[in-house]
Structure 1
Amino acid sequence: MVFRLCEEDALFTGDNILGHGTSVFEDLEVYLSTLEKMKYYFSGRAYPGHGAVIADGNVKITEYIKHRQQREDEVLQVLAYGSLTAERDLPSSPVNGEELRRWTPMELVKVIYRDVPVTLHAPASQGVFQILKKLEKEGKVVTGENDGEDRFMIVL
């Protein structure tokens, strides 16, 4: 939920946009749709539920959307190639010609967030899981269970 302050052309963003860090969400597709809608309600400041006031709310919303797209691209990259190495540096076949593997969200986190402290991997895995569920809805990945864990594989 957000509130518009017409007198300032501003928006109270709640937890959708924060003055620091990134938001936690339950459904990435809904969250991205909400961000897109928010951009059209104002062009001024954003008053987040946490953190400092954001001078240009639309710029921050665009940053959030780009950040989510970057993470989605990284997930697809690792699912297809097993690493974050640029595609142009890899052989034409995914995963160096090996059989595509199924990944858990935490396995993906260990590659994508390799430079992030391990203490942040659990929260990051929730975001990666949301990306995987979105990609599954879009038909870009399939899921299966192995040893009681959801595992995801890219659809080529």
Structure 2
Amino acid sequence: MAGAPPKPWPTGQAMQLEPLVRRVLAPNPSPYTYTGTQTYIVGLGDGCAVIDPGPDDPDHLLALDAAIDGEHVCAIMCTHTHRDHSPAAKTLAARTGAPVVGCARLVLDDSGPRADAAFDRSYEPDRVMEDGEQMTGPGWTLTAVATPGHVSNHLCFALEESGALFTGDHVMGWSTSVVIPPDGDMRAYMQSLEKLQAREQDRVYYPAHGEAVEKPHQLVRGMIGHRRQRENQILRFLGEGPHAAADFVPKMYKGLDPKLHKAAEMSVTAHLIDLERRGLALQSDDIWRTI
């Protein structure tokens, strides 16, 4: 994972990215959120949609109020329900009367190694969007693109008028996504990357963390290659003898911040589970070996 850029960061400022898209950065930086969660506002004037409203933080909600500035909010749309993405939906819906639409509700007791990615228990969608369903407003159309893997309920949203794709945490502008079992699924994640790779209409990605991705297909191709390289590393180390999942981290992630070791171990575990399902690895008493 890359380090954050030098401060100051444009927290709380509405930045115009293209005629239909504005971005507001939430004040929740961390080793997993980079400079913070980016909320996107789609549409101008007669009605807008708010994508990934972010944490239920008073300063962030005030910044969203200022950015919307009395516009009619047609929908509050969430890519997934990690706690840095969806909690502000409830408060924003109460303020604006807008429906909460997008991903399904998902709450697991095992929320992984990082506190800021725990599941949002307050999330209650008024409408769950299936793959290919659309939300429309004045001059804009957002299409749901199902991309499970990071979590099973993850959606991206495609802005049909401009070729922009809001990628949430599935594709980020600064790091690969963490895939944490039991809900995170490496096979599903890879299939979702391949699905995006096949979408020729996407001109730019707007991720929830990190800068806009101007060459999206090149990045996705590299991400697929990176994951295959990780899988090959795991198989090579398993060929040397049995390993616990934690044993792979110092071998595969040299120089990694110790704070991120547990997350790296979870991604390795996701790869190992995928290999086991494919008949290439076997687990016994938390020890993995080749078959």
TM-score scaled by length of structure 2: 0.43
Is the strand fraction higher in 1 or 2? Answer: 2
1:2 is paired with a residue whose SS is strand
- Name the amino acid aligned to 1:154: T
Give the equivalent residue in structure 1 for 2:288.
152
Distance in 2 between residues matched to 1:113 and 1:77, nearest whole Å: 15
Deviation at 1:79, TM superposition (A): 0.8
Query: 1:22 pairs with 169, 176, 187, which one?
Result: 176
Query: 1:127 pairs with 232, 250, 267, which one?
Result: 267
1:8 is paired with a residue whose SS is coil
Structure with max Cα Rg = 2
Deviation at 1:127, TM superposition (A): 0.5
1:7 is paired with a residue whose SS is coil
Deviation at 1:60, TM superposition (A): 1.1
CA RMSD of aligned residues (A): 1.4
**Is the contact made by 1:16 and 1:23 (CA closer than 8 Å) also made in structure 2?**
yes
Deviation at 1:139, TM superposition (A): 0.4
Matched, 1:34 2:34: no
Give the equivalent residue in structure 1 for 2:167.
13
Q: What does the per-residue CA deviation read over 1:97-131, in whole Å, with 9 as the maximum and x for residues that have no partner?
A: xxxx3211101112222333333221110010000
* Mapping 1:37-116, distance limit 5 Å: 37-41=195-199, 42-81=201-240, 101-116=241-256
Distance in 2 between residues matched to 1:16 and 1:138, nearest whole Å: 23
- Name the amino acid aligned to 1:14: G
Deviation at 1:13, TM superposition (A): 0.8
- Name the amino acid aligned to 2:229: Q
1:46 is paired with a residue whose SS is strand
- Name the amino acid aligned to 1:152: W
Distance in 2 between residues matched to 1:76 and 1:138, nearest whole Å: 13
In structure 2, the gaps of 5 or more residues are 1-154
Residues paired across the two proteins, number = 132
- Name the amino acid aligned to 2:185: D
Distance in 2 between residues matched to 1:14 and 1:123, nearest whole Å: 18
- Name the amino acid aligned to 1:24: V
RCO higher in structure (CA 8 A, sep ≥6): 1
Deviation at 1:43, TM superposition (A): 3.7
Give the equivalent residue in structure 2 for 1:92.
none
Q: Runs of at least 4 residues of structure 1 off by over 3 A?
A: none
In structure 1, the gaps of 5 or more residues are 82-100
Distance in 2 between residues matched to 1:7 and 1:56, nearest whole Å: 18
- Name the amino acid aligned to 1:110: P
**Is the contact made by 1:43 and 1:56 (CA closer than 8 Å) also made in structure 2?**
no
